Chains A and B, each alone.
Chain A
Amino acid sequence: MDYMYTEYYLVVDLATGEAEEVELEEKFVKEYVGGAKLNLALYEKYKDEDPIVFGSGLFTSTMVPGSCLGVLTAKSPVTGKIAHAPITWNAGAELKFTGYSFVVVKNKAEKPTYLWLHDEIADFVDATALWGKDTWQTTDAIREEQGEDRIQLLVIGKAGENKLTSAQVINNYWGDGDRFGFGAIFGEKNLKAIAMRGMGELDVDDAEGFLEKVEEVFKDVVSQVGSAKGFDAAAYANIPAAVKAAAAKQTHRVEADFNSPLAYKVYLKYREDPSVMAMSDIWNPGVLVSDPIGFAAIGNAVNPEAAGEVLEAVFRLGLNPVAIASKIKAKDAKGAIADLEKLAESSEAEKFDAVYSPISPESERTEAAYIAGICPVLAAKAEALNAETLAELASISTGIDFDADAFKM
């Protein structure tokens, strides 16, 4: 594909250690656009080989506001159906910059492995020494091994290794949109992580026309987002008032996803004074509340002051906070973390109700966002990111005629 995507997608066979570059044809993009929709087509194509697909949307990595989204698609061990997990932050954008807009991971590795994608190269790296390590240790170790701190990772912890349906694929250090037990699929495949770093470039068909239109959209989006930030921008999560009040005392800074104006992610510091801006010697001062709904679930289960620290343990073990919250018995941080460590190794964690609880608020624009590669949290807030506008941007940037229906599954 000449515009907005890379030339190839990647098909990885963990059983044979082979990686095949497959041309991403224009007619394929014309039919399936990208994101969840194109992922699904790839899933179907390789469904006999037990695939999990990580893919970008048409606008991922581009200047369209909120262009952070990557989507994980596979058959959910929780629901038994095909599901799409939105991955926000930076992993989706990094995937496309590696030179592969989509990666299909087939079959099972003989021994623990991580996949290292960098600039049109796919390496299978032995992860035996990483097996048993938590997600933070793993992210640090891989970044150190490959020599770059901005490597983006999808990684599992103990829960994924133990193939629990309550396992979650973690994004570097932080939980994200996997509510479907995809962490267990990684574990089943002996896949400790997918690590990505790319220096690729993406072309756009009508650069001048695109810039003009995207700036108009950008201005609309910024005004629709308004001044809402932090937990105010995450009202959809229904975080209990007491938890919010406790978190307010720990709040350090707010942050946004890749190329998104919506700073709804909140960093809480509970191991040092949150007003400290300079870097101290404390390497792990707190946690990024990357998933406000998951934070609300944990906040309901433990003491409000302990919610951040307990969320950190959830992330490190690679658990889905929504699935696991009701299993935590202790209210204090230490006790709750001990509970979680047991849960990550026990089938007790398997028994939860498969309530669909997405990471993002529901909106009429969610579906289009999943296909376009736009952060669904932003799309819910910004009316400008509707299917009609996305179709217009898609036509300008690719030279292919798209209509609003293209952004429906």
Chain B
Amino acid sequence: MGRMDSENLKIAIYIGHGASYSWIWFVKTFDSLDFNEVYFLDESDIKNGELSNYDCLVLPGGDPFLIADGLLEEGLDKIRQFVKNGGTYIGVCAGTYLSIIFNDDPMPWLNFAEVPINNFSERPPEAIRMKYKYIVPYKDGFVFHPVRGSLEVGNKDMSFKAPLYGGPSMMAPAENRLLDYVDFDDKTLYLVEEDTAKKTMVGNAAGIRVPVGRGCLYLFGPHFEHPSYPRANMFLYDIMSKIKPFAIGPAKKGDIVLLHGDDLGEWLGIIKRELSSARVLSSGLVNLRWKIGEKIWEDEKIIYFLNETWKTIRTLQRYDLLPIEDPKGLETNARLIHSLLAEIRVLSKGGQDTSKEAEMLIEATKKLSKGLFDTYFNLKRNNWWSNGKIS
């Protein structure tokens, strides 16, 4: 089987329970790299056996504990079968931790292969900043994060910058290695003393390829999909172009409604109005920090999400006909986002806890943006630009 054209590669991105906002980076980068077959799955899609209809599964950043809680053994096993039968698994950060064994007594996760990591310890070095983001308890020890932000990765042929937000420092055999952590740069943020950070990271693997059955895993520490790192995006593109076709059936399709004319105008108007109000509210939100599971959700990500969704709406409004799955549901979500933000503003001004509202907000923004991206990629696949449907 040969290389695949980017426009035909069927990519499933996991956006279900425990996935953080970083999946939106994949959406932006895949879009700019001209991938058209981009789909979004949650834990129930995976449990329902949807995976076999895709060539690869992307497990983005997030919280591996929560992801595993959502997928349950049933979903985890579906992923194992998918790879064994020939599917490709791309894990980043949480998606990487979820798939490897790095402890004698591992959590019951995917556990595809043993890959020791150098940032796990029963007694991690002392943090010099960002203590609450520094460590995550894991069984009898801690996964710790010596640095954050931009750093240098490379191999004998290339080196480039990529951002790290908690990904592992992997001690993999040479034959699995794609990229190592090479050096830090002037924008690297040290959470421990620089020397300790170097000892923990430099020389270890930042990206590996592990064959499993008829499929394989690509596991990354840094976020090569981050849209601000074009060289890292090209590395990702090269990896994607090596993926073997696997999908055996058509991708999942919901009940699509075709909206046009006044109905479309009215629907877009509502979504836009609610999103606009949500953006105004979120830009004025103050000093909130929400903890959900083991992960701190940063409030700036909310506005990033809303902004990307806003850009998508502005693209979609150029069309006079749109295929939309569950437009009423998306409308409800847009209204919910607006009202939740209003509630959060009032509660936080009064110094009250807003984590429940925040969790609902994250869920609602995820659903709305997924729905709009589905429509967007549907248009892209059907090449409606050249079909003259653009108004």
Question: In the assembled complex, which residues on chain A have CB atoms less than 8 Å from the CB atom of B341?
Answer: 147
Q: Given B277, B307, B342, which contacts A118 in the complex, CB threshold below 8 Å?
A: B277
A120 near B: Cβ within 8 Å?
yes
Q: Is the CB of B273 within 8 A of A121?
A: yes
A118 CA / B279 CA spacing, docked (Å): 9
Q: Is the CB of B276 within 8 A of A149?
A: no
Question: In the assembled complex, which residues on chain B have CB atoms less than 8 Å from the CB atom of A151?
Answer: 280
A112 CA / B281 CA spacing, docked (Å): 25
Q: Is the CB of B273 within 8 A of A146?
A: no
Q: Is the CB of B273 within 8 A of A148?
A: no
Question: In the assembled complex, which residues on chain A have CB atoms less than 8 Å from the CB atom of B8?
Answer: none
Question: In the assembled complex, which residues on chain B have CB atoms less than 8 Å from the CB atom of A147?
Answer: 277, 280-281, 284, 341-342, 345
B241 near A: Cβ within 8 Å?
no
* Given contacts A147-B342, A147-B345, A199 and B280 within 8 Å (CB-CB): yes
Question: In the assembled complex, which residues on chain B have CB atoms less than 8 Å from the CB atom of A123?
Answer: 273
A151 CA / B341 CA spacing, docked (Å): 17
Instruction: Report A90-121 residues with CB < 8 Å from chain B CB.
Output: 118-121
Q: Is the CB of A119 within 8 A of B284?
A: no
Q: Is the CB of A148 within 8 A of B276?
A: no
B283 near A: Cβ within 8 Å?
yes
A99, closest chain B residue (CB): B276
A316 near B: Cβ within 8 Å?
no
* Given contacts A147-B341, A147-B342, A147-B345, A121 and B284 within 8 Å (CB-CB): no
B273, closest chain A residue (CB): A121
A148 CA / B338 CA spacing, docked (Å): 13
Question: In the assembled complex, which residues on chain A have CB atoms less than 8 Å from the CB atom of B310?
Answer: 119
A120 CA / B310 CA spacing, docked (Å): 11
Q: Is the CB of A149 within 8 A of B284?
A: yes
A147 CA / B307 CA spacing, docked (Å): 18
A163 near B: Cβ within 8 Å?
no
* Given contacts A149-B284, A150-B284, A119 and B279 within 8 Å (CB-CB): yes
Question: In the assembled complex, which residues on chain B have CB atoms less than 8 Å from the CB atom of A119?
Answer: 272, 275-276, 279-280, 310
A189 near B: Cβ within 8 Å?
no
Question: In the assembled complex, which residues on chain A have CB atoms less than 8 Å from the CB atom of B272?
Answer: 119-121
Question: In the assembled complex, which residues on chain B have CB atoms less than 8 Å from the CB atom of A121?
Answer: 272-273, 276-277
A149 CA / B281 CA spacing, docked (Å): 10
B276, closest chain A residue (CB): A119
A197 near B: Cβ within 8 Å?
yes
Instruction: Report A142-180 residues with CB < 8 Å from chain B CB.
Output: 146-151
A197 CA / B276 CA spacing, docked (Å): 10
A147 CA / B342 CA spacing, docked (Å): 7
A119 CA / B281 CA spacing, docked (Å): 12
Residue-wise, chain B 243-287 has the 8 Å CB interface mask toward A (1 for contact) of: 000000000000000000000000000001101110111011000
A121 CA / B272 CA spacing, docked (Å): 8
How far, in Å, is B344 (CB) from chain A's closest CB? 10
Residue-wise, chain B 273-303 has the 8 Å CB interface mask toward A (1 for contact) of: 1011101110110000000000000000000
A148 CA / B341 CA spacing, docked (Å): 11
Instruction: Report A198-226 residues with CB < 8 Å from chain B CB.
Output: 199
A149 CA / B276 CA spacing, docked (Å): 16
Q: Is the CB of B277 within 8 A of A199?
A: no
Question: In the assembled complex, which residues on chain B have CB atoms less than 8 Å from the CB atom of A118?
Answer: 276-277, 280
Question: In the assembled complex, which residues on chain A have CB atoms less than 8 Å from the CB atom of B273?
Answer: 121, 123
Interface of A (DSSP majority class): loop
A19 CA / B255 CA spacing, docked (Å): 34
* Given contacts A118-B276, A120-B272, A147-B345, A199 and B281 within 8 Å (CB-CB): no
* Given contacts A120-B272, A121-B276, A148 and B342 within 8 Å (CB-CB): no
Question: In the assembled complex, which residues on chain B have CB atoms less than 8 Å from the CB atom of A146?
Answer: 277, 280
How far, in Å, is B200 (CB) from chain A's closest CB? 40
Question: In the assembled complex, which residues on chain B have CB atoms less than 8 Å from the CB atom of A120?
Answer: 272, 276
Candidate in B275, B280, B281, B307 with the most chain A CB atoms within 10 angstroms: B280
Question: In the assembled complex, which residues on chain A have CB atoms less than 8 Å from the CB atom of B345?
Answer: 147
How far, in Å, is B299 (CB) from chain A's closest CB? 15
Question: In the assembled complex, which residues on chain B have CB atoms less than 8 Å from the CB atom of A150?
Answer: 283-284
A121 CA / B314 CA spacing, docked (Å): 12
How far, in Å, is B85 (CB) from chain A's closest CB? 46
B344, closest chain A residue (CB): A147
How far, in Å, is B338 (CB) from chain A's closest CB? 9
B338, closest chain A residue (CB): A147
B306, closest chain A residue (CB): A199
A118 CA / B275 CA spacing, docked (Å): 10
Question: In the assembled complex, which residues on chain B have CB atoms less than 8 Å from the CB atom of A148?
Answer: 280-281, 283-284
A385 CA / B281 CA spacing, docked (Å): 36
B283, closest chain A residue (CB): A199
Question: In the assembled complex, which residues on chain A have CB atoms less than 8 Å from the CB atom of B283?
Answer: 148, 150, 199
Candidate in B273, B276, B345 with the most chain A CB atoms within 10 angstroms: B276
B284, closest chain A residue (CB): A148
Question: In the assembled complex, which residues on chain B have CB atoms less than 8 Å from the CB atom of A149?
Answer: 284
How far, in Å, is B373 (CB) from chain A's closest CB? 20
A347 CA / B255 CA spacing, docked (Å): 65
B342, closest chain A residue (CB): A147
A123 CA / B275 CA spacing, docked (Å): 14
Instruction: Report A176-202 residues with CB < 8 Å from chain B CB.
Output: 197, 199
Question: In the assembled complex, which residues on chain A have CB atoms less than 8 Å from the CB atom of B284?
Answer: 147-150
B269, closest chain A residue (CB): A121
A146 CA / B310 CA spacing, docked (Å): 19
Question: In the assembled complex, which residues on chain A have CB atoms less than 8 Å from the CB atom of B281?
Answer: 147-148
Residue-wise, chain A 128-151 has the 8 Å CB interface mask toward B (1 for contact) of: 000000000000000000111111
Q: Is the CB of A199 within 8 A of B342?
A: no
A149 CA / B310 CA spacing, docked (Å): 22
Question: In the assembled complex, which residues on chain A have CB atoms less than 8 Å from the CB atom of B275?
Answer: 119
A98, closest chain B residue (CB): B276
A148 CA / B276 CA spacing, docked (Å): 12
A199 CA / B281 CA spacing, docked (Å): 11
Question: In the assembled complex, which residues on chain B have CB atoms less than 8 Å from the CB atom of A197?
Answer: 280
How far, in Å, is A196 (CB) from chain B's closest CB? 10
Instruction: Report A374-408 residues with CB < 8 Å from chain B CB.
Output: none
A393 CA / B115 CA spacing, docked (Å): 58
How far, in Å, is A193 (CB) from chain B's closest CB? 16
How far, in Å, is A308 (CB) from chain B's closest CB? 29
A150 CA / B279 CA spacing, docked (Å): 13
How far, in Å, is B126 (CB) from chain A's closest CB? 35
Residue-wise, chain B 374-387 has the 8 Å CB interface mask toward A (1 for contact) of: 00000000000000
A118 CA / B310 CA spacing, docked (Å): 13
Q: A146-B280, A150-B283 are in contact. List 19 more A-B contacts (CB 8 A).
A: A118-B276, A118-B280, A119-B275, A119-B276, A119-B310, A121-B272, A121-B277, A123-B273, A146-B277, A147-B280, A147-B342, A147-B345, A148-B280, A148-B281, A148-B284, A151-B280, A197-B280, A199-B280, A199-B307
A-B contact pairs, 22 of them (CB 8 A): A118-B276, A118-B277, A118-B280, A119-B275, A119-B276, A119-B279, A119-B310, A120-B276, A121-B273, A121-B276, A123-B273, A146-B277, A147-B280, A147-B281, A147-B341, A147-B342, A148-B280, A148-B284, A149-B284, A150-B283, A151-B280, A199-B307
For the complex of A and B, 8 pairs with smallest distance between CB atoms: A119-B276, A148-B284, A147-B281, A121-B276, A121-B273, A148-B280, A197-B280, A118-B276
